[in-house]
Every structure is written in structure tokens, then in C-alpha cells.
Amino acid sequence: MKALISLREKDIGWVRETLGRFHPGMLPIANKPQVEYLIDFAILNGCSDVRIVMDELGRDLENYFGNGIRWGVRISYALSSCSDNIEQVIEKNSNFCADSSLLIMDGFFFIHYDKNKAYDIRAEILSQAMAVSCESGSVFYCSNIKELSSMIDIATEVDFSLSPLNSMDDVFQMTVQILDAEQEHYVLPGYGSAKEVLMGRNVELERNVQIRPPVIIGNNVRLGKNAIIGPHAAIGNDSVVDQETEVKESIVFPKSYLGVCLTLQKKIICGDKMFSVKEGEWLEIGEGFLLSQLNDLRIRPFFRKLVDRSAAFLLILLLFLPFYFLRTARLFQNDWIIRNKKYFRNAQGQHCQVKEVVPSCGTRSGRVFEKLSLDCFYKLFSAAAGKLDLVGNQPLEVNMYNMRRLQDFTFYSAGVFTYSKSEGLVLGSLEADITERFYAANKSILQDGRVLTRIMHSRFTVKNMEVEK
């Protein structure tokens, strides 16, 4: 038997309009793409070949499923026209469909099946085409295309059923239903560390995270201090739930950042968009520190370090002459004190010694010195040596208090130029803390460039005030 999955715009268009981020076939339901459930069902029916027919190219879908080797089937892809009906789709794929009984899945729906049951007996009992339908699609069994015109409905005779996927509300209900009662029916991603808790690879939990089953958590997820996940929560791959946030009866799509101290109940989060199941409305949150789309968390460290070190080296060359000129002027005005300090470099507790120029006592040369960011000159050498980031978090002095703070700050990476300074925030304030965490979680070369530009600009417009801790 062969399987043909038909995904047509008339059925999946609402997903594109609403989310647009990915191919609708990749819409996660309990952290697993919708199409993957169909492929699993095809495999249970004894299919060794699967063809996915789409109106538009689905690069992310094709990249994910590839040639099907991970599932032990051969997966191929084809395009159809928007106006084609299912008979025309089959006819256009006649080479694939010939000489084999077919399992056709046409539309956009969820199949409720049980992986522990046998479904591969259909081929033996096929005497005419049989169908199971819902309002957004159908599953057909047939031997050839001619049988489609005289199909019989077998919904009451089979042990699987379909549920339509016409709205985000349907997606929500399906996810909750799977988490509640159907986890055992499907191959779901993750490992069962406890009953009704599925966790992916590389999940980081900070202090006092509460997991309330049933819950499914994807790969590379970070859960902040005192976060509460569940019940009935699905956290997608590569997402971050920051500290004190509660996610209950909600779905978080992959690569989403949830900020500090939020409460989500009956919500679907897709990057910076939030859908309320209760209100039936979408809201785009304009503030990244509440909700945002995360860039690919697999930052290529080597490349980023190379850019950082090169930029630091360039800044050293650029600022070398003004530094020594103004240093001489400050020495002459008795406004020059150097100190050595030890700072934590990263969340793992590695530290480095850095030379610092004590802030000016108000001399003209001191003011010009600080306006040109020359107070960071010595730190640039640490950045060029790779010990500090060029743009990063406010360096934390090595002491017990900061060591405890690091335990809750997974993304911490000390920088020469800091995120909170770029926003003109008072250091040590709640806003500065939130900003530091948000930017650290969203770190990228482009962001760092913007932050650096903002700092340079702000040096000439706003005087930053430091709060000594």
C-alpha cells in the first residue's frame, strides 16, 4: 500500500494567514508536526511509500522529513494546482499511485489512532473505496482512482477517527486532548521522565521550576527560576520561559521567548503573537521582553567570537591615539586612577581579571575621555583576547552574591559594552535586570551591532548614572 497526503491551500490557508512562520503541515500539535501524525498512521497501515502533494513549496517541511529515512519509509514530494480536486491530484501522480492500493489523506485534520493497534488489514478487505471524513478532510482507502466515485463511509466500522483543524481553537483542543488522555496512543517526541511528563533533549531547568503534569517540553528549552509549567502545557523546541512565569493550559510554539513574571492560561504563543482561546483573538505583542521570536539558538560561537575579537581589535586601533593623548591629559590633571577587578565571564563561573579606569572626577579631559568610551579601552584587550564579549551583560564582580545570581542566569556573558547601558537604564534596577536577560537570550551579531551603535550614540546625548552595589 502507498500513502498520498494532499495538503491544499483551501484547507491550510488559514494557518498561513494566521501564523505564516512555517508550512501548515509543520503546525505542531503536542510538539509534533501535523503531517508526522499522518505519516505515522500511514506506516501503521503498512505503507512503505508516502507522497506529499502541496500547492506551494514547503521547504521547512521537506527539510524536516527529507526522504523519510528516519521513519523507515520513502517520502517524495509533488506540486499540485490550487484548482485540482483529489481525483486530478491522483491522476497527476499516477506513476506513484499505479499498481498499488492507496491510503489517501486529503485535507487538514488530526487522525485519532492508537499505535498499539493493527491498521494494516485494510488492503485485504478492499473491495471498493472506503472513506472516513470530517469537515476539513477525508481519509480514503482505494485500489484505483475509479473507485473514488463510489465510496462508502466506514466511519462507524473503523477504530480511528478524524477531527477537523479549522482554527487555533481546534489546535488547542487537540493538544490538550492528547496530553490529557491520548499520550500513549502516539509516538510523541521526548522522554518520559515521569508519568505524563515528556521532556526533550538538553532541557535546562533553573532553581525551583515546577512541572505539573501533563506536560510536554521540547528540545533545547530553558525554564527560568520559579517557572511553573503545566498542567496541560506544551513548550516547543528552542524556547525560553523566563523566571517566575506560569504556563498553564497553553501551547508555546518553537523558538518563542516568554519574559519574566507572566501568566499564560488558555493561550497559544507563536513568537511575539499570542492567541487567546477564551477571547478567540490574536494579539501581537510589540515588546520583546514580554514575548518575542527567538533567533536560531545555535549561535555559531566560533564565528561570533571571531567577529567580536576583530571588532575589538579595530576599536583598539581606532581609540589608541585619543586614549594615550587623553590619558596624559588626565595624568597631568591628577584624574587618573587604575584598578584591577575580577569579573565573572559566563554563567559557568569562569572569571577574568580586568584593568579599569576609575570614572573621572569631573575634569574636562575626563569628560571627553568618557564620551569617547575610552574608559572601556583596557577591557577591549580582554575582548580581543576572547575573555569578554564586545557586547554583553553588565560584568558581575566575583563574589558569593553574584555567584548565586549566576545560577539563575543561564545566558549570562559579560561584555565590554552592556545592554542596560544601551537603553540608558539605571544599573541594578528591575528594568535593567529584565533588559539584560532579554538581550542575552536573544543574542546575535546584528543585535550586538545595534546595541553598540546605540551606546556610542547615547554617549553624546545621555549621561548614564551608575548605581554602586
Partner 1 sequence: MKIEYLKKEKIGLVKIWGRLDGLNADILKEAVLAYLLETTSILIDCAELEYIDSVGLGALLAGLKKAVAAGGDIRLADVRPKVKMTLEITRVDQIFLSYDTVGSGVTSWI
Q: Which residues make up the interface to partner 1 (CB under 8 A)?
A: 261-265, 267, 274, 276, 279-281, 283, 285-287, 289-291
C-beta of residue 455 within 8 angstroms of C-beta of residue 417: yes
How far is it, in rounded angstroms, from Cα 310 to Cα 252? 37
Q: Which is nearer to partner 1, 276 or 363 (CB)?
A: 276
Q: Which is nearer to partner 1, 281 or 468 (CB)?
A: 281
Q: Which is nearer to partner 1, 87 or 287 (CB)?
A: 287
Q: Which is nearer to partner 1, 245 or 365 (CB)?
A: 245
HSE at residue 131, side-chain half, CA atoms within 13 A, is 17
C-beta of residue 267 within 8 angstroms of C-beta of residue 281: no
How far is it, in rounded angstroms, from Cα 93 to Cα 89? 6
Minimum distance from CB of 278 to partner 1 (Å)?
A: 8
48: which residues sit within 8 A by CB, 6+ positions away? 1, 2, 73, 74
Q: Which is nearer to partner 1, 44 or 227 (CB)?
A: 227
Q: Is 452 helix (H, G, I), strand (E, B) or coil?
A: helix
Minimum distance from CB of 115 to partner 1 (Å)?
A: 36
Minimum distance from CB of 251 to partner 1 (Å)?
A: 14
Q: Which is nearer to partner 1, 286 or 362 (CB)?
A: 286
Eight-class DSSP state of 118: -
In this structure, what are the phi and psi dihedrals at residue 164, rounded to the nearest 5 degrees? -70, 150
How far is it, in rounded angstroms, from Cα 202 to Cα 220? 5
Q: Which is nearer to partner 1, 276 or 293 (CB)?
A: 276
Minimum distance from CB of 242 to partner 1 (Å)?
A: 13
How far is it, in rounded angstroms, from Cα 273 to Cα 19? 9
For the chain, the residue count is 469
Helix or strand holding residue 177 (H, E): helix 168-177
HSE at residue 111, side-chain half, CA atoms within 13 A, is 33
Q: How distant, in Å, are the alpha carbons of 92, 362, 365 from that of 84?
A: 10, 77, 76
